[in-house]
Chain A
């Protein structure tokens, strides 16, 4: 199980206060995996390519033969930005760093990057290795975040 959906404010536990996705049928294996702390990725059985986000047909070869595989949970920073303005729960965390992650298996995910200093963007390196982690937003929904691994 991912760590619980709380952070501690003055000794009190508060609920996850950022946007919580509403899992859809197409992505169910991903969301089930996230809940179990696994990065599940859709892969085309015919051309073996992993794609992100989940599709009804493979965006590379257009096969409708898609399977789900457990990813390594590793990737690299493709590009990033530091968000100084945000809404709702994210506003309390600003500035924070968003990034596109090149997955080791192929294709790309978007995330909020952990283990970096948003006040010093020059210290964040494109190409740096990152590892996935999950945070439980509710009992049913866990969200993937990525942390710099080196």
Chain B
């Protein structure tokens, strides 16, 4: 039996900024936001002025102000890359409660351009709190961000399950195959990037070592991205020219903020957030026909597949190694080319949502964002965002109309 919130709202459109990836001229995060919002408004025919709920990671009031909106619901949950899956969860509840009926979830991040702008235009304050536990008890030891943290999880997975870096490299190889079907993917081909196009396990393992056991091609890209989706009540959804994609289930959870508090380095809170989402949907992993899984690193995707119940513990990577997750396979995963080979701006949760919408609305092969072979037949998709250092998770069960 589905829960009360199941299908109480639908994603009715999803769009991106005009130029994403590695733009030739630097973009600001705000510009990336605004282009995506304008594009999703045009796609759905919903005027920006009709939006009455604004959901963004960390600066929703600035976004709403820039749009000249005075929304009835403002949510700026910012707990890493899964924030956007959580925004969908919150928007679903707010629409079900009758507080709003048109929710904007938006993301803009100039992960690439900020190198050229010297850190300007990010929409974020710079610098951290010296009395934060991380500043005091982690940063003195030379860790420099996500790759240097996530590698510890892979080492523990290898120890516990006897897996190898080569097993996880299979994830990068298959994800790159999907990128070759997405012209907007940074690693689509030699035309889009000198190192683009198909790769092998050997290519992945021989790439530059970053944080053992992770080599460069186990690690996501750092790009620009703007993306926005609109979520409405069922009544509005049925009146629009675009196809609705129904939010059948949603859940969120966390295991820690600082990796110091990560109890089990081979597990994430996706097990809990997925259980909530599946229960709301009245569906289980066996009912899913594809997955969009945050792949900040190969290890993130492999472990998450296990947490979502798509593979036994210790065997998540086999979905990719067996070819099931690949183009033409029986269980497509990360059909946009992933954070590994499509686009990863720093927080990747919106990219997951946009691609899940495209797949389930039958628009994944529009010639711009996908060429022949990218559109799957899937009618259901489990979407999982992971934030922080394997810290926070948001899981959605989305189904086609």
Q: Write the residues of chain A forming the contact surface with B, with a CB cutoff of 8 angstroms.
A: 18-24, 26-27, 52-53, 78-87, 90, 93-96, 98-100, 108-112, 121, 126, 137, 143
Contact = CB atoms under 8 A, between A and B. Distances in A.
A5 B172 CA distance: 43
A96 B211 CA distance: 10
19 contacts: A18-B142, A21-B130, A21-B137, A22-B131, A22-B135, A22-B136, A24-B131, A24-B136, A27-B136, A79-B152, A79-B156, A95-B209, A95-B212, A98-B143, A98-B148, A98-B152, A100-B260, A110-B259, A126-B159
A135 to B, nearest CB: 10
Closest 9 CB pairs of A and B: A90-B142, A81-B151, A82-B212, A79-B156, A24-B131, A22-B130, A53-B133, A86-B142, A79-B152
B142 A83 contact: yes
A109 B140 contact: no
Interface in B128-165: 130-131, 133, 135-144, 147-148, 151-156, 159
Nearest to B137: A53
B136 A83 contact: no
B260 A126 contact: no
B265 interface: yes
A53 B136 contact: yes
Select the residue from A85, A111, A143 with max chain B CB neighbours within 10 A. A85
A27 B131 CA distance: 10
What's the interface size class on B, roughly?
20 to 34
Select the residue from B156, B211, B212, B213 with max chain A CB neighbours within 10 A. B212
A110 B137 contact: yes
Contact of A83 (B135, B140, B143, B156): B143
B148 A79 contact: no
Contacts of A83: 142-144, 148, 211
Nearest to A23: B136
Select the residue from A83, A96, A126 with max chain B CB neighbours within 10 A. A83
A79 B155 CA distance: 6
A1 to B, nearest CB: 19
B116 interface: no
Nearest to B212: A82
A112 B141 CA distance: 6
B142 A81 contact: no
Given A79-B153, A99-B152, 4 more contacts: A18-B142, A21-B130, A81-B211, A90-B142
Select the residue from B136, B137, B141, B212 with max chain A CB neighbours within 10 A. B141
B258 interface: yes
A121 B212 contact: yes
A81 B265 contact: no
A81 B153 CA distance: 9
A121 to B, nearest CB: 5
Contacts of A20: 140
Given A53-B133, A78-B156, A121 B213 contact: yes
Contacts of A26: 131
Interface in B262-281: 265
Contact of A98 (B141, B154, B208, B265): B141
B320 to A, nearest CB: 22
B152 A21 contact: no
B240 interface: no
Given A79-B153, A86-B142, A112-B142, A53 B260 contact: yes
A84 B212 contact: yes
Interface in B48-80: none
Nearest to A31: B136
Contacts of B137: 21, 52-53, 109-110
B152 A53 contact: no
